[in-house]
Amino acid sequence: MRAVLVVNPQATATTPGGRDVLAHALASEVKLDVVETDHRGHARDVARAAARDEIDLVVAHGGDGTVNEVVNGLLADTPPRPGGHDSVPMLGVVPGGSANVFARALGHPRDPLEATHQLLHAIEERRTTRVGLGVADDRWFTFNAGLGWDADVVAGVDRRRGKRTSPGLYLRAAVACYLRPPRGRPPLTVRLPGEEAVAVTTAFVSNTDPWSYLGSRPIHLNTNCSFDTGLGLFALRNLGLLTVLRHLRQALRSKSKHRGRQLVRRDDLPIVRIDAEEPVNFQVDGDLVGQRTTVEFSSVPNALTVVC
């Protein structure tokens, strides 16, 4: 088996020692090339080249942004349709970031050394699973995407974090963006198949549950969402303080059941379109993409094979 290990040395929990242990362990099982990324988009380019070279396995060691780049590289030359990805290399993940939402949703340990052992056993036993992914316009995402408040938070964190990221930083950014939204709060319009358009203030799209993590605590928005279902939508008609506090409390419960008059929530959606009256921040998998006035999100079942 031929494999490529893609390491982001700037990720929060990656170290040279951990990289060497992982590379040595993988090299005992596969014919391995190791690439360290040194610029934005590098992981995507490496994964795209690996797919074209018919590599069997690409392992991403970094945070969710690294995983997202690798996934987008693996699928760069493949149209987003069900069952059209059999020739794409398998994906392996060893968490090295701060949140590691995709890896944790797959059941991987947070500790990179433990995750390495799990990955090696999965390779030995040829243990894999197929996962569905989301597509936001031309960008694949593994666990979530959104327009509005959450994307503003991502933009705020990106400006300040460097290599150090913490739950406290995200909380401070969330409060700052709530009190003073950097791009204001232009209305959003959610369009769903067979339903009338709905006006909202912020919208979260999920590909699995939990939506994200606050340290060790999962944040649940669409608890019925998984890699085996369609997309989940969680949108709020307004961001009044009582509305926000109500749903934040519900989101932090282990068995969350969101209810509220300002909530628009759907599960297992094949497609969602969100329009904005003026450009708003747009994020996928915790990575700021830019500003958009329209984004169409779609679900692609069985998009990728993951070794886990």
pLDDT of residue 182: 80
pLDDT of residue 83: 60
pLDDT of residue 281: 94
pLDDT of residue 170: 85
Residue-by-residue pLDDT tens, the chain, 308 positions: 999 999 999 888 889 998 999 999 999 999 999 999 999 999 999 999 999 999 999 999 999 999 999 999 999 998 777 665 678 999 999 999 888 999 999 999 999 999 999 999 999 999 999 999 999 998 999 999 999 999 999 988 887 755 466 778 888 999 999 998 887 889 999 999 999 999 999 999 999 999 999 888 999 999 999 999 999 999 999 999 999 999 999 999 877 688 899 999 999 999 999 999 999 999 999 999 999 999 999 999 999 999 99
- Model pTM greater than 0.85? yes
Give the fold, CATH level 3, of 144-301. Tumour Suppressor Smad4 (2.60.200)
Please state the domain extents for the chain.
2-126, 144-301
- Tell me how far apart the alpha carbons of residues 181 and 113 are, in angstroms, rounded to a whole number: 40
CATH fit for domain 2-126, picks 3.40.50.10330, 2.70.70.10, 2.120.10.30, 3.40.1390.10: 3.40.50.10330
* Contact (Cβ atoms closer than 8 angstroms) between residue 305 and residue 91: yes
pLDDT of residue 209: 95
pLDDT of residue 157: 86
pLDDT of residue 87: 83
pLDDT of residue 257: 80
Give tens-digit pLDDT for 261-306: 999 999 999 999 999 999 999 999 999 999 999 999 999 999 999 9
pLDDT of residue 84: 57
